[in-house]
Structure 1
Amino acid sequence: MNMKRWIALVIAVGLFFVSIAFQFISSIATADFESMFSMEQIDDDISEKVIEEGAGTNKIAVLHLNGVIQDTTPSSFINTGAYNHKRFLEMLDKAGEDRNVSGIILRVNTPGGGVVESAEIHDKIVEIQEEYEKPVYVSMGNTAASGGYYIAAPADKIIAHNATLTGSIGVIMESFNFAELADKIGVDFNTIKSGEYKDIMSTSREMTDSEREILQTMIDDMYDDFVQVIVDGRDLSEPRVRELGDGRVYTGAQAQEVNLVDELGSLDDTIAMMIEEQELGNAKVVEYEQGLGINQFLGVSMQSMFRADSDMFEIQDLLREGNAPRAMYLYSK
């Protein structure tokens, strides 16, 4: 490599680090430090931020559920915005156990996710209602479909925006079949298995009728559970739920017409409804946050600097998940 190329390489590396430093400084300059350091730490990994002051000791806790509901650990500290299932369950526990919390609002913005994870959140909500006798309201964001509706079903009240996408009641399991492509490009699959169905949903061959029947039975069982959750939570008849639960999505307005949601409104409207209906006029309204403010800030700053790498980590996670087909309460377009 001649001298000119070395000089060009040094300049490129220098510009790269200058760019990183500039983005980091910009993040610091635009950060809301007052908000960050005003959060009260209630746990090593959970803090609460006051969004509406109150005169008494009672509180309304607002918990945000964003993203696909999966029990996966974020791939790195850069990926701070990913849904953290363990942390969300812990926040529900904290809100339930806190004697000063008189009501809980879940702000749900998710296309759904894993069957087990959705059931765990649903069961935790029911536990809070029964054991602590606290009202739980759900405020739906852009999307609260499939697993998002599953966890909303037991709520004391469901409020959606007019344009919210909800419903998508049902279960889905998918896999790829690369057999024909492999034949064309000359790729052989070698599979050694202990039983006939060990490689069920294999990507290397067509599914057999008996395999399809096995999986359909599983999906039907999970769908029955979904239907029962809505029957119990919404006080609708089973035939009516099955009629509504053909997998289609509804707007918030459509969902209200068929009694899948109670009211139309925003998160602010939901807070106002809880204050009025539960007689919590003096309650302070707080939002539960994940982690310390400064740690969140540093993580988000790093994420903004390495956005391409962060997106790549997420793609790698999806590919790893895709290797193991699983049943999902998930709305996918």
Structure 2
Amino acid sequence: MVLMADAILDRMKLKSQLQRWRFVAIAAVAFLAAMVFHPFGKHGVDGGLTHGLTSYIARIDIEGIIYENPHWQEVIGEIADDKSAKALLVYVNSPGGTLVGAENLFNELKYVRSKKPVVVIMGDYAASGGYWVSIAADRIFAREGTMTGSIGVIMQTPEVTGLIDKIGIKMYTFKSSELKGSPSPFEKMTPQVEHAVNDMILDAYNIFVEHVAQSRNFSIEETKKLADGRVYSGRQAVKLKLVDAIGGQREAIEWLTKEKQIEATIDIKKVSLDEEKTVMDQLFSSMASAAGFNSQSLRSGLWAMLQ
């Protein structure tokens, strides 16, 4: 019986090893196939940047919450340096985001603008940080119903000390100075903390106002009258000169043709700001989809088998 059990165990072990190597062989073949057929053009959904092969107008979409993303900056920088890209269309459909995220995108688009025309096309909304990004362009188009403006800075912090007292929890905080780690939801707001936070918010607001004033040729005083945090419709924004004209991509191309001598028939290439998946990522995603598994689970399982 012991010999039979050992034989069964050996057979199971051999079967497991065969399955493991069979899977490795299949993965290797799939990997080689992906290497052969994978389009190695960078970033673009239409095959990537051309780098000198064919003239085109690049288009990027900035949608959702804006945040600090070095990959976005890298892609935009490549468009700036690509001599085949004769202009850049930027579709902005964002309610705003972080201060640094908006500032970095603004600076990157200004860099592109130093080399080629940049035109912004606003979508449903281009407010707060979305507006900050937009003013880097040579020309801004919006729809009449676009929500834009909202020039200002906001920070919110909860305070739960009353709730903590009610449920009988004590919170002890040890810090080097009164303002360290403040504001905190576990401490009552003091006048000193409130003053420090308001100073920071005001400084960030002034940075925003200065960029708007410089980009839209306003004085600081004129800008502050418009920068009270309110949202404007696209039509209002045009009247206030926060936006240049009502329109979309068609009007943007017409402007580029008339004002920047860009050929009207030139191709528009959409360039993705999403991080490109590696060949292995695409391989695992394809295998997982075919097998009905999550790609991360499949990858983890494969590495576990090979250990």
Q: Does the pair score TM above 0.5? A: yes
- Cα distance in 1 for partners of 2:266, 2:251 equals 15
Is residue 2:214 matched to residue 1:237? no
Amino acid at match of 1:140: M
Query: Identity rate of aligned residues, in percent?
Result: 31
Amino acid at match of 2:198: Q
> How do residues 69-148 of structure 1 correspond to structure 2 at under 5 angstroms?
69-71=66-68, 85-130=69-114, 132=115, 134-148=116-130
Q: Specify the alignment match of 1:10 in structure 2.
A: none
> How do residues 88-237 of structure 1 correspond to structure 2 at under 5 angstroms?
88-130=72-114, 132=115, 134-237=116-219
Q: Specify the alignment match of 2:262 in structure 1.
A: 280
Amino acid at match of 1:42: G
Q: Are the equivalent residues in 1 in contact too, given 2:57–2:267 (CA < 8 A)?
A: yes
- Cα distance in 2 for partners of 1:41, 1:167 equals 40
Q: Specify the alignment match of 1:260 in structure 2.
A: 242
- Cα distance in 1 for partners of 2:225, 2:122 equals 22
Q: Which runs of 4+ in 1 moved over 3 A?
A: 39-42, 292-299
* Larger relative contact order (CA 8 Å, sep ≥ 6): 1
Give CA-to-partner distance per residue, 1:278-298, whole Å, 9 cap, x none.
Answer: 222242110002326997895
Q: Are the equivalent residues in 2 in contact too, given 1:63–1:91 (CA < 8 A)?
A: no
- Cα distance in 2 for partners of 1:257, 1:296 equals 48
> Which ranges of structure 1 fall in alignment gaps of 5 or more residues?
1-38, 51-55, 72-84, 307-333
Task: Give the structure-1-normalised TM-score.
Answer: 0.67
Give CA-to-partner distance per residue, 1:56-110, whole Å, 9 cap, x none.
Answer: 9321100011111123xxxxxxxxxxxxx22211221111010011100111111
Give CA-to-partner distance per residue, 1:281-326, whole Å, 9 cap, x none.
Answer: 2421100023269978959x97xx99xxxxxxxxxxxxxxxxxxxx
- Cα distance in 2 for partners of 1:179, 1:145 equals 34
SS at match of 2:46: strand
Is residue 2:26 matched to residue 1:42? no
1:40, distance to aligned residue in structure 2 (A): 6.7
SS at match of 2:262: coil
Amino acid at match of 1:209: P
Paired residues, what number? 246
Q: Are the equivalent residues in 1 in contact too, given 2:44–2:269 (CA < 8 A)?
A: no
1:47, distance to aligned residue in structure 2 (A): 2.1
**Bigger Rg over Cα:** 2
SS at match of 2:172: coil
Higher strand content, 1 or 2: 1
Amino acid at match of 2:271: Y
- Residues 205 and 106 (structure 1 numbering): CA distance in 2 closer, same or farther, change over 3 Å? same
- Residues 261 and 293 (structure 1 numbering): CA distance in 2 closer, same or farther, change over 3 Å? farther
SS at match of 1:47: coil
RMSD: 2.8
